[in-house]
Amino acid sequence: MISIIVLFAWASSVHSRDSEIRLPMLGDSSSGIVSKYQEYQLGRDWLKVFRSRVQTYDDPLMQNYLENLLYNLATYSELEDPKLELVIVNNPTMNAFAVPGGVVGVHTGIFSYAETEDQMVSVLAHELAHLSQRHFARGIEAQRKSTTASLAGLLAGLVLAATVGGDAGMAAMAAAQALGIENQLRYSRSNEKEADRFGLRTMQAAGRDPQAAAEMFETMLKRLRYAGDRPPEFLLTHPVTERRIADARSRTIGTTMRHYPQNPQYFFMQARALVSLANTPKDSIKRFIGKLNANTLQKEAAMYGLALSYIRDENYTEADILLQDLLKAKPYDPVFNFTAVELYIAKEQYSTALQKTSQLLDRNPDSYPLLSLRAEALWLDHQYEAASNVLTRLTRKRNQDPMIWYRLAEVRGLAGNISGVHEARAEYFILVAAFSLAREQLNLALGLVKHDFKRSAVYRQRLREVIKMEEKAEQL
């Protein structure tokens, strides 16, 4: 996808001018348990600030894949109102988290741990269980006599885990929970056991292999032992112990011994994650050639990963050979076709890329990954108005995605729609909690459309909403 380095130069003032954003407390000694509505609002406020601190992973294909997994699981979970928001961080550490209000985060490093899709699902099901059982809200009540629970502490730990490393992040989270640590740890372990139990129930209802949870725990435990750096259990947000593995095994003893087929799409997404995590394209090429030479059971995924690695290494000839072989075997595979367009764009064959996306969109007209790819091809082909139309369409379906608003701002600028640039920038800044910058952009837009009554009214209304967002964040 198009480089987003410019974004962080453009939005650097988010940190300098809005760096004093203060997250509201989940509760205090007099408030009692928070409502579901408060949880939702707190979670969305938290996500805005998290996005302003951490560079999230921008891959519409993987985003779409993981969202579909998450939403499917949610239909089988205990969640009453699954309004979910998924955030992906490109980081090699094994990490996932759930924040009140339906925010679920994952690191791409999970793909290097989860050997099957069901193992990945076990992590997502566990996080959904934390949400459905409202562990954050219940934790407030449990901690009322010792300390308050603050989303700011969680934010600090997860930002460190995403940008520095897991150990630093876990240490920060432990520091944020310094008061009443023993009581809090006992409660946390209780939460984990309950999330394991409800997560397994969700997996069974969804027709997933419940034993994958124990397998995932075993993989994590082996990695910790191999690394020779097993943190103290109380520093882990998801403690992995032999007892926990045994509990997971015991809960699946009575389940039917049936065959659970593998989803090949998982292994393609795993390949995308591994390529993105590699230090250099050469490292990635070596990895997938080694898999092929070892006669891996996932040959197609290894070929696909190698093709992606060649694209990243600008060896388009070899990438094209591999992709053509894959498409001959599976001409309608959405992942292979998506990456064929990625290759055309990398080779600057924009007309071919646009022709291919038109054909693919005829079969799947509302595909978020394909529309994103088409917008990119139009942008690079200097068809700015057409690209703007596609991205505007995407904002109607995914108005909480900051990267779509960023791209729309850039394309509108190139198309000469200056008021539209300010409007899109304002929406981007809202989604990263930079409310003062959002107000500036809306005021600039108002100055350009002062003779257009309808648009002026729209911008004034949005400006009032932004002011209310700031006030609400301070009052929560």
What is the model's pLDDT at position 81? 76
What is the pLDDT, as a whole number, of residue 182? 41
pLDDT score at 195: 79
Q: What is the CA radius of gyration of the chain?
A: 23
Rounded Cα distance between 263 and 73, Å, is 15
Q: How far apart are CA 64 and CA 70, in angstroms?
A: 10
Give residue 342's pLDDT: 98
Query: Residue 443: exposed, middle, or buried by beta-carbon count in 10 A (0-12, 13-18, 19+)?
Result: middle
Distances (CA, A) of 434 to 419, 425, 473: 19, 11, 12
What is the residue-level pLDDT of the chain in tens, covering all 476 positions? 443 333 334 444 444 444 444 444 444 433 445 677 777 888 888 898 899 888 899 999 999 999 999 999 999 988 887 789 999 999 988 888 888 889 999 999 999 999 999 999 999 998 898 888 876 655 555 554 433 345 666 666 667 667 765 555 545 554 444 433 344 444 466 777 787 888 889 999 999 998 898 888 888 777 766 655 544 333 355 555 566 666 666 666 656 567 788 899 999 999 999 999 999 999 999 999 999 999 999 999 999 999 999 999 999 999 999 999 999 999 999 999 999 999 999 999 999 999 999 999 999 999 999 999 999 999 999 999 999 999 999 999 999 999 999 999 999 999 999 999 999 999 999 999 899 999 999 999 999 998 999 999 999 999 999 998 887 756 54
β-bridge pairing 103-107 and 96-99: antiparallel
What integer pLDDT is reported at residue 147 of this predicted model?
34
Dihedral sign, Cα of residue 273, residue 278, residue 280, residue 283: negative
Under 8 Å between Cβ of 84 and 190: no
- What is the C-alpha to C-alpha distance for residues 66 and 111, in angstroms, rounded to an integer? 11
The tokens of 61 are what?
């294909």
Give the DSSP per-residue string, 310-350: HHHTT-HHHHHHHHHHHHHH-TT-HHHHHHHHHHHHHTT-H
d(CA 178, CA 153): 11
Residue 342, token pair as written in the block: 């990625």
The Cβ of residue 37 has, within 10 Å, a number of other Cβ atoms equal to 9
Q: d(Cα 456, Cα 471) in Å, to the nearest integer?
A: 23
Alpha-carbon distance values, 360 to 1, 61, 333, 352, 369 (Å) = 18, 14, 11, 12, 11
Name the CATH architecture for the domain at 264-475.
Answer: Alpha Horseshoe (1.25)
One-letter amino acid of 272: R
How many whole angstroms separate alpha carbon 421 and alpha carbon 463?
15
Domain locations in the chain as residue ranges: 5-251, 264-475
Q: Which helix (H) or strand (E) holds 97?
A: strand 96-99
Q: pLDDT value at position 187?
A: 40
CA atoms within 13 A on the CB side of 274: 27
Identify the CA nearest to 109 among candidates 125, 126, 90. Answer: 90
How is residue 423 written in tokens? 């409007």
